[in-house]
Amino acid sequence: MKVSIIGTGYVGLVTGVCLSDIGHDVTCLDINPNKINLLKHGKSPIYEPGLEELMAYNIKKNRLNFTTSHSEGLRDAEVVYIAVGTPQAEDGSADLSYVMQAAKDIACHISRDTIIVTKSTVPIGTNYKIKQVVLEHLQEDVTVDFVSNPEFLREGSAVEDTFNGERIVIGSENEEAADKMEALYEPFRIPVLKTSILSAEMIKYAANAFLATKISFINEIANIAEKVGADVEEVAYGIGKDGRIGDKFLQAGIGYGGSCFPKDTHALVKISEESNHDFHLLKSVIKINESQKSVLYQKAKKRFGSLAGKRVALLGLAFKPETDDMREAASITLSEKLLNDQAEVIGYDPIAIENAKKVLPEGVIYTDKIEDAVKQADIVFILTDWKEVIEKTLVLTCLFHEQPVLFDGRNCYSLEEVQKFNIEYHSVGREAVR
C-alpha cells in the first residue's frame, strides 16, 4: 500500500521503516529539514538498535522515501499516519497543536480517498477533533476515514517491538477501514484488536498508567523494605512468580522517565479531572516517582553530610539503556540537585552525551570514557543500567578509589557479588554493604 507518515521521531521513523520492510511504499515526512537531510543520506537522527541497517536496506529497495514537502509526501497516499509529538502542556494536558497542524496539512494535500491513522498518543475524543479539522480543510472531493492506532513500542527495542508486538489496536467506526488496516499489518502476524475509537485512545493511556503504577508500587515497597530490613529484589521475585502479578516492571530503582510515562500519566490525570473524576491513585504514582528520582542524592547526603566540593560521576544519562533520549531522565533532576549543593558533576553515557549537553544544566563536565568518569570522581552514581555500565562500574570503582563508595540507582548487582569486593555499596530497597 502507499503509506505516508507525518513525523519522523522515535515512533514515526520506526513505523515507516518497518512498514517499508514488509513491502509497503512508504514516504516519511517531517517539518525538520535537518532530520530529513540526514535521513536522505541514510543516517538516522535517533539512536535505535537495528534501525539504520533496516533503513539502508529499504531505501535501496526503493520503497522508503523522505521529504519535507507535503504535496510530494501526501500525494496519492492511501493511508496517512499522524506520528507527531504530543508533549506535556503547562497545565499537564497533552499539547495537541502538532497533531492538529498535521491534520490540516493532510486535509490540504490529499488527492484520493484516504485513511488517516493517529499513532500519536492523544486524549480520548481527539480523533473526533481531528476529523472535524480535516473535514473543514479538505480541498478535494475525497472520502476520509479515521483510525486510532496507538503505539506500544519501547525506545531501545523499537524495531524489535514493531515486528514482535503483543497486539495491534485498531480503533475505528468504519469496518472497511479497520479491515484495510488489518490487511496492511498482516505480514507482521501480530494479533489485531478491533475496538471503538474512544476505547483505542483510552487503551494507550490505561496501559502506560498501569505500567507507571507498577514501577511506583515496587519503588514504594523498596523504600519500606529498606526500613524493615527486607530485600526488594527477593520481594519482587517472590511476587512476580504469581501469574496474576507477573514479573515484568517490578524493577526497583530511581523511577521512570522518558517521553511517555511522565507526560501520559499527567495527561490522564487531566483527562480524569475534565470528566469530574479524581484519579487519586495516578496522582500518587506521579508523586512517588518524583521523589524516587532523588533517592540516591538523599542517600549520598546522609552518608557524606555535605556534598560541596565532591566530584560525583553520573554513569548513564539517558532515561534508560539503548536510547539517546534524554526526556525526563533522572540525570536531569540529580545534576541540578548536585550542582545546587556545590558538588562537581561528571557525566558519562555511551550514546546520549550530545543530547545530554542540550538539556543538563551548565556546569556538568562530560567525558566519553567511563574509566575517566570513575577515575576523576569521589563518588559514583549509576543512573542508567547500560550493559557497559553494569560490566565495568564495580571493578573500576574498586580499581581507582582507595575507599570505594558506589550508589547504584538500578540495582545492577546482587549483594552476594558486591560482597566479594572491598567496596561500600548503596542500592535501592536493600541494605547497604559496607
Which positions make up the binding site for substrate?
A: 152-155, 204, 249-253, 257, 320
Query: Closest separation between CB of residue 214 and ligand NAD, Å?
Result: 17
Among 5, 26, 29, 232, binds ligand NAD (CB under 6 A): 29
| Contacting residue, 21, 48, 105, 201, with ligand NAD by CB under 6 A | 105
Name the packing angle between helices 197-228 and 126-137 (round to 10°): 140
Name which position in 50, 56, 98, 125 contacts ligand NAD (CB under 6 A): 98
SS3 call for 347 = strand
Burial code of 408-417, b = ≥16 C-beta within 10 A, e = fewer?
bbbbbbebee
The rounded distance, in Å, linking the Cα atoms of 147 and 104 is 16
Q: How far is CA 240 from CA 5, 220, 236, 254, 429, in A?
A: 39, 16, 6, 20, 16
**Spatial distance between the Cα atoms of 295 and 430, rounded to a whole number of angstroms:** 13
| Residue 83 binds ligand NAD, judged by CB under 6 A | yes
Report in angstroms how near the CB of residue 13 gets to ligand NAD at its nearest. 7
4 is a site residue for ligand NAD (CB under 6 A): no
Q: How far is the CB of 124 from ligand NAD (least distance, A)?
A: 14
Interatomic CA distance for residues 378 and 402, integer angstroms: 10
84 lies in the site for ligand NAD, by CB under 6 A? yes
Which residues are annotated as part of the binding site?
Answer: 30, 35, 86, 121, 152-155, 204, 249-253, 257, 263, 320, 327
The full 3-state SS of 189-222, as one line of letters, equals CCCEEEECHHHHHHHHHHHHHHHHHHHHHHHHHH
Within 106-135, which residues bind ligand NAD (CB under 6 A)? 120-121
User: Strands 79-82, 2-6: parallel, antiparallel or unpaired by DSSP?
Assistant: parallel
Q: What is the CA radius of gyration of the chain?
A: 23
Span interacting with ligand NAD, options 96-104, 308-316, 375-383, 386-394, rule CB under 6 A: 96-104
Cα separation, 217 vs 289, in Å, equals 10
Q: Which of 16, 85, 255, 429 binds ligand NAD (CB under 6 A)?
A: 85
The residues annotated with a catalytic role in the active site are 260
CB of 197 to ligand NAD, least distance (A): 16
Q: Where along the sequence are the contacts to ligand NAD (CB under 6 A)?
A: 6-12, 29-32, 35, 83-86, 98, 101-102, 105, 120-121, 151, 153, 155, 259-260
